[in-house]
Amino acid sequence: MKVVILCGGKGTRLREETEFKPKPLIEIGGKPILWHIMKIYSHFGYKDFILCLGYKGHLIKDYFLKHKAMFSDFTLHTSEGKEEYHNNESDNWKITFAETGLETNTGGRIKKIQKYIDGDSFFLTYGDGVADINIKELLEHHQNKGRIATLTSIQPMSRFGVLEFDSNHSVASFKEKPKLDGWINAGFFVLNKKIFDYLEENSVFEQEPLRNLAKDRQLTAYSHKGYWECMDTYRDFEMLNKFWNEGKAFWKVW
């Protein structure tokens, strides 16, 4: 089963890093966040990836083409043009690099990789979010509901502590960054190939396609009660690296 990852956005809110590289290559603990996402899926046995490239996509290609040499001991036989590797740290992934355009919106990027989907269903996620999600349970939910699309929903954490006080302004309690009441789309989709009927060349997946799926009762939500974070700002970048460096990387399920 294919895993499609959207890797083409410009990441303008993280310009400190994305001026020189695409957001999926921004590192957590010395490895791109894209690598971390792929490790989550491969832990559950899904190792066939399609990367929807756009902004600075050539750097993503370059990273994976050089990955084995960069992270392995090897001997180079210059006369024969041959490398002899002494340790095998390969993740044994199959990766299709799909050029989906510099300015293409998310729905259009998905539409452009239709020719690479050879099964009835596929996974889809964004190249900037990590979670301690059980991918097999997500797939089971999708199969049991029998709809075209399943998204993963989470209750985000408040960025601030919440006060409760009475009419006399006497503080009764203080909750440090509680979970909010509402649910949001955290990505980690499972999609039936009928999804392509809802997509156009440059549609925004999160807008009209998802609204039409909901209207047709073809969209279901898998409620993830664990942790999820998106690397959207420099503050997020620092926080995710802090988790990793302190041994608290909740998404490290492998």
pLDDT per residue as tens digits for the range 91-126: 889 999 999 999 999 999 999 999 999 999 999 999
Q: Return the pLDDT at 87.
A: 73
The more confident residue out of 148 and 202 is 148
Q: Return the pLDDT at 76.
A: 86
Instruction: Give the pLDDT mean for 22-47.
Output: 97
For helices 135-145 and 33-43, the axis angle rounded to 10 degrees is 70
Least confident among 6-20, 54-68, 141-155: 6-20
Instruction: Give the pLDDT mean for 237-242.
Output: 96
Q: Return the pLDDT at 16.
A: 72
pLDDT, mean over the chain: 90
pTM: 0.88
74 pLDDT more than 90 = no
Least confident among 45-49, 88-92, 176-180: 176-180
What HEC string does the chain produce?
CEEEEEECCCCHHHHHHHCCCCHHHCEECCEEHHHHHHHHHHHCCCCEEEEEECCCHHHHHHHHHHHHHHCCCEEEECCCCEEEECCCCCCCCEEEEEECCCCCCHHHHHHHCHHHCCCCEEEEEECCEEECCCHHHHHHHHHHHCCCEEEEEECCECCCCEEEECCCCCEEEEECCCECCCCEECCCEEEEHHHHHHCCCCCCCCCHHHHHHHHCCCEEEEECCCCEEECCCHHHHHHHHHHHHCCCCCCCCC
Domains of the chain listed by start with CATH number: 2-154+183-245 (3.90.550.10)
Cα angle 176, 178, 181 (rounded to 5 degrees) comes to: 155
Instruction: Give the pLDDT mean for 211-225.
Output: 97
Q: Return the pLDDT at 178.
A: 52
Judge whether 60 and 35 are in contact, CB under 8 Å: no
How many residues does this entry show for the chain?
A: 254
